[in-house]
A and B are shown apart, each in its own frame.
Chain A
Amino acid sequence: MDFRFSLEEENFRQEVAVFLEKEGPKEWQKKKVSFFDMSGQENWIAIHREMSQKLGAKGWLSLHWPKEYGGQGLSPFYRLILREELAKYHCPGYHSLSVDFVAPAILLKGSDELKKRFLPGIASGEVMWCEGLSEPGHGSDLAAIESFAKQDGESYVVNGQKIWTTYAHFADWMFLLARTDRQAQPNYRGLTFFLVDMHTPGITVNPIINMAGHYDFNEVFFDDVRIPKENIVDSINRGWYVAMALLDFERTSDLGYAIAGTLLNDIVECARERDILDAQNQIRMAELVVECEVARLTHYHVTWMQAQGKGTTYEAAACKLLGFESIQHVAEFGLKVFKQFGLLSDKSSLAPLYGRISSCYLRSFGHSMEAGTSEIDRDVIAQRGLGLPRLR
């Protein structure tokens, strides 16, 4: 047992901190922009892309990949350290959908050819991905998706619709789960995992604005979209297993505790400057310090399991749930501390933290839905972790 980072890891943290302080967007650092708040910033996509390429140029987007695919073969704790520092320094540029969702899935389930084609663009930070999983009728019940890919010679032709597709409006590629067998029983055995160029004819992207007023996600329509069969990860009708592996990576990607912890520190600092942190809120703060610490250790534990190559069953779901709900609780705390001032938008000069209290609070409603709802996470923990029986 050892709860320390190694000397090399600490040195890496220091190197990252120095780099981010210098290279991170100054305006964002001044405003203390939160990871989930970045789409509320002006010109954010260009800033995000530029920072992504800076991180890629440092070799920091492929730290724990095998060396043969351009990685450095380091422990996944390096990735975690990088993301802790990104949260601390209010920096964008880490495109989780590419780096932590699809890259590990390609590494785990993709052919050698797919690895060589797609990993370099992710490692350099130049190619950005979006996720084609949820559909209007099927979110939590993912196995029932209907978008259909019909074989036609050497290609598959996709028709259907995806929704809640974060960043589809600027992504270069999409990973897409589509049905290839309508008769398959159980239904998840009829799904295939495709990699789709977002510039392919037949793809239409429409914006959906969330309740925080931010443009993160979209609905995406597929009308006779042709995908070469080489772009299948694993093989036909094996997409469910790729998606499930991907979801485990997804659930451990964004460090909820670090985002929450940074926001908590910012709130407390600002409240102390204004001398408004009363006794009741001090105790609430202490409770959140405790909550973030538990979420942090839960994340460290699953990262340690990943580092050991140990298969995880329920741990990623617990990690995501605790981390993301901690952001919700901290955002709620922000409102309790700043009260009416916290509900002012970023356009108001009276708004604390440049309006981040209201936007983080409103954005936080999504945290218990994205990457699998908290209810699905609890199902996973109960069924896969505790062996409780399924009703259906």
Chain B
Amino acid sequence: MDFGLNEQQEMMQTLAKDFLAAEYTDKVLKAMVKDDLGCTPEIWDKIAGMNLLGLSLPEKYGGVGDFLDLTVVLEEMGRVCFLGPYFSTVVLSASLIMDAGSEEQKKQYLPTIAEGKILVTLALSETSDNYTADDIKLKAVAKGDSYILNGTKIFVPDARAANYVIVAARTGKGVTLFIVDINTSGITVNTYQTVAGDKQGEIIFKDVKISAKDILGEVNQGWSYIEKVLRKANIARCAEMVGMAEQALKLTLDYAKERIAFGHPIGAFQSIQHRCADMKMDIDGSRFITYQSAWKINEGIDTEKDVAIAKAFVSQACQRVMHSAHQVHGAIGFTEDHILHYYTKRARAYEFSFGGADTQLEKIAALYR
């Protein structure tokens, strides 16, 4: 049993933390909420320059490190409430291409992702956000060496920024994955206005012709890859929420130590201390449970139940932390000017992303039936 980070992970943590603290300041975050990409090209280039876009990919595709290293970096991104297309490109798409792609596809996409030259996203949801194979209705009909795609995908992360999109499509009884250039004729992208400022949109496919060469993995076998990437995605969201909750606690402690009421810093009052203690237990527990699953994913150990447990806990714990952070801050944290609500809103978005707490609890319950 070992809860410690190794030297490389510690290095990665420091690198990401220092870089993001300097470059992705509160001021930048506020600006990026209104930006299409969520990240300036300069910052993105620097992220690529630090090899963070190749995290968890093999060296031969320009990668470095493993999923635990990636988890460490995502926690740091959470700390600054990072908004760029990192999650969609690295966590969702690079993982999927690595798992499902042919050697040729890996060579084509992965090094360019690692170099920061292309952004890729995953188009999964349609009418609901249940994340089950049955929900995939977008039709892909074979026609010669091609497929014709018709349908609409909703809640596509970074839909506006992406150069390529991996589409989960219905092909008869199964689901098939296609990797598609976003500029292909017949594709329309509409951006959502989200409360949390996270970049999402819908992608409409109208008679979009895709070559059979652009199938990722095998025909009708796509969902097994999706299940695998959903586990990674949920743990990645957990890692981000751990960082966000940690930052919310830091803001809260700073405030509780300096804000004077009744002649004392409010942090000296038990009512405030106990809230903060609960926040700390929630955050520590979230971190342990996130890293346990991240470690299992890294080791190739089955994580179906662990991921559901982690996401169920972390997403609820993170809401509790945000709520307490607001309560301790009082009215000042309720203002638009304050940074706290950026975290609160994002925590909500990430809770529901890839299945919220209720969905996860239902999954756990089902395992005992």
With an 8 A cutoff between CB atoms, is A23 at the interface? no
Considering only residues 21-65 of chain B, those with a C-beta below 8 Å from chain A are: none
Max chain B C-beta neighbours (<10 A), residue from A283, A301, A388:
A388
Nearest CB of chain B from residue A87's CB, rounded to whole Å: 18
Also in contact, A389 and B267, with CB within 8 A (given A1-B291, A293-B289): yes
Contact between chains at B1 and A303 (CB < 8 Å): yes
Tell me the complex Cα distance, A3–B284, Å.
16
Known A-B contacts: A321-B281, A388-B273, A388-B276. Give 13 more (CB < 8 A).
Answer: A286-B362, A289-B309, A289-B364, A290-B364, A314-B280, A318-B280, A318-B281, A378-B278, A381-B281, A382-B267, A385-B280, A387-B257, A391-B264
Contact between chains at B68 and A1 (CB < 8 Å): yes
With an 8 A cutoff between CB atoms, is A34 at the interface? no
Question: Which B residues are CB-close (under 8 A) to A77?
Answer: 1
With an 8 A cutoff between CB atoms, is B7 at the interface? no
Question: Which A residues are CB-close (under 8 A) to B273?
Answer: 378-379, 382-383, 386, 388
Please pick, from A5, A291, A318, the residue contacting B1 in the complex, using a CB distance under 8 A.
Answer: A5
Q: State the 10 A-B residue pairs at the shortest beta-carbon distance, nearest first.
A: A382-B273, A381-B277, A297-B288, A378-B277, A286-B364, A294-B285, A282-B365, A286-B361, A2-B2, A388-B267
Question: Which B residues are CB-close (under 8 A) to A386?
Answer: 249, 253, 273, 276-277, 280
Contact between chains at A298 and B284 (CB < 8 Å): yes
Contact between chains at A290 and B288 (CB < 8 Å): no
6 contacts between A and B (CB under 8 A): A289-B364, A291-B313, A293-B309, A318-B280, A375-B270, A379-B274
Tell me the complex Cα distance, A332–B257, Å.
37
Tell me the complex Cα distance, A3–B290, Å.
12
Tell me the complex Cα distance, A332–B362, Å.
20
Chain A 312-343: CB-based contact to B (< 8 A → 1; otherwise 0): 00100010011000000000000000000000
Contact between chains at A290 and B313 (CB < 8 Å): yes
Q: Tell me the count of chain B residues lying within 8 A, CB to CB, of chain A.
A: 44
Q: B272's closest neighbor in chain A, by CB?
A: A388
With an 8 A cutoff between CB atoms, is A44 at the interface? no
Tell me the complex Cα distance, A285–B312, Å.
13
With an 8 A cutoff between CB atoms, is A117 at the interface? no
Nearest CB of chain A from residue B258's CB, rounded to whole Å: 11
With an 8 A cutoff between CB atoms, is B269 at the interface? yes
Residues of A within 8 A of B (CB): 1-5, 77, 268, 282-283, 285-287, 289-291, 293-295, 297-298, 300-301, 303-305, 307, 314, 318, 321-322, 375, 377-379, 381-383, 385-391
Max chain A C-beta neighbours (<10 A), residue from B281, B288, B358:
B281
Contact between chains at A1 and B280 (CB < 8 Å): no
Contact between chains at B365 and A304 (CB < 8 Å): no
Tell me the complex Cα distance, A4–B298, Å.
13
Contact between chains at B6 and A1 (CB < 8 Å): yes
Max chain B C-beta neighbours (<10 A), residue from A303, A307, A318:
A318
Tell me the complex Cα distance, A2–B291, Å.
9
Question: Which A residues are CB-close (under 8 A) to B253?
Answer: 386-388
Question: Which B residues are CB-close (under 8 A) to A379?
Answer: 270, 273-274, 277
Q: B312's closest neighbor in chain A, by CB?
A: A290
Please pick, from B4, B5, B6, B285, the residue contacting A298 in the complex, using a CB distance under 8 A.
Answer: B285
Please pick, from B285, B295, B362, the residue contacting A1 in the complex, using a CB distance under 8 A.
Answer: B295
Question: Which A residues are CB-close (under 8 A) to B256?
Answer: 388
Question: Which A residues are CB-close (under 8 A) to B295?
Answer: 1-3
Also in contact, A385 and B264, with CB within 8 A (given A286-B362, A301-B288, A379-B270): no
